[in-house]
Amino acid sequence: MADHLNLNEEQQMLLETIDEFTKGEVRPGAGERDLERTFPEDVWEGLAELGLMGVAYPEEVGGVGLGWLTHALVVESLARGCAATAMTFVAHANLAMGAIATAGSDEQKERWMEELCSGETLGALALGAGEVLAGPAAEGVTASKSGDGWVLQGTAATVVNGSRAALLVVHANVEGGGSGLFVVRGDAVGLGRGASHHTSGLRAADYADVTFEGVAVPAADTLPGDADAIVRGVLDASRVSLAAIAVGIARDAFDRTIDYSKERQMFGRRLADFDGTLEKFSTMASATESARRLLYAAATAQDGGDGYASIATMAQLHAARVAHDVAYEAVQIFGGYGYCHEYAVERLQRDAKMVEIGVDETAFARRALARELAAI
């Protein structure tokens, strides 16, 4: 329970709703989706019906206006049922929506936020400018001026929701210097999508390359402001959500471990009765709880406004490590069964590893954090 958070009634109700949804709708198909690499279609529709995509965003733009802590709790809950679904949600609700909500003009927000908040349109953020994310050797996307508008050329690598998104916010290098943010419809002429990458974990999430071959973007569809700074802000916000996915995985792994250890009998005892197992429980529990507290602290700071980037990075770093440690230990405690798909914990370990990799893709953020802390 998140009772130490002093949630108001509305938040608590919402949390109960999402927990129930996770249990009933998200969790049951998670193993199958992992095996088949299928996008959580039904789950997505259900989530849209619950109206949770815009939990963090103000009501004026179609959101729920409950802030980032609530958002983090939703992500955590989803991840307890299926981390890949949570990742899909984060790419949509943090990355795509975040860029538009922070940078869009009133007119632009009006145009795009509602369909994103309602979940009618799936969004993605395509990072195609080198400065912010030292991604895996992507050639990047370049925007050149053409009449009133712009033309996009190039590739954005491994975009989450990349092969399916109907609305993409593209961060591209601008010819002649700087970068810009361009909003593109999925069916734009010249927009191509690679097949979803066959990843080790988070297999139901969609990581695909998106290509732009002379995609025209009218001036009205570019987001105003300093694109690098906007993207950095959106990524800071997403770090809290990635920490929430990690915490969700760790909690799921821990809960499953406790249940299993109470059932499994050996040497005339329950597995839960061995000293060594108890020692593992306490290590797993304290790690998970520390990650959870740090997550909530980061999300609360995020609601407070400025100056939460460092704690967000710390929460992500810590939670991702904890998720892997805990999921790894869960596999160990399940023994041979832990190695088999049927018992789910091997999936949690693979998912945790993908979340941990996310930490290094933001090596940039890690360096920034270290520099800030050491004042160098």
Ligand X SMILES: Cc1cc2nc3c(=O)[nH]c(=O)nc-3n(C[C@H](O)[C@H](O)[C@H](O)COP(=O)(O)OP(=O)(O)OC[C@H]3O[C@@H](n4cnc5c(N)ncnc54)[C@H](O)[C@@H]3O)c2cc1C
For residue 334, the minimal CB distance to ligand X (Å) is 6
Q: Tell whether residue 267 is a contact of ligand X (CB under 6 A).
A: yes
For residue 337, the minimal CB distance to another protein (Å) is 9
Q: Tell whether residue 218 is a contact of ligand X (CB under 6 A).
A: no
Torsion, Cα 145 147 149 151, to 10 degrees, reads: -50
Q: What is the DSSP string of 122-156?
A: -EEEEEE-TTT---SS--EEEEEEETTEEEEEEEE
Buried b (16+ CB within 10 A) or exposed e, 221-239: bbbeeebbebbbbbbbbbb
Instruction: Name the phi and psi angles at 157, rounded to 5.
Output: -85, 150
Q: How far apart are CA 98 and CA 106, in angstroms?
A: 14
Total residues at the site for ligand X (CB under 6 A)?
A: 13
Q: Tell whether residue 32 is a contact of another protein (CB under 8 A).
A: no
Q: How far is CA 103 from the centre of its chain?
A: 20
Q: Tell whether residue 361 is a contact of another protein (CB under 8 A).
A: yes
Q: How far apart are CA 188 and CA 214, in angstroms?
A: 10
State which residue, 44 or 328, has the beta carbon closest to ligand X: 328
For residue 304, the minimal CB distance to another protein (Å) is 31
Residue from 336, 374, 375, 376 in contact with another protein (CB under 8 A): 336
Q: How far apart are CA 218 and CA 124, in angstroms?
A: 19
CB atoms within 10 A of CB 293: 14
For residue 367, the minimal CB distance to ligand X (Å) is 38
Q: Tell whether residue 197 is a contact of ligand X (CB under 6 A).
A: no
Q: Tell whether residue 33 is a contact of another protein (CB under 8 A).
A: no
For residue 34, the minimal CB distance to ligand X (Å) is 18
Site of interaction with another protein (CB under 8 A): 35, 134, 136-137, 158, 197-201, 207, 265-267, 276, 324, 328, 331-332, 335-336, 338-342, 346, 349-350, 353-354, 356-357, 359-361
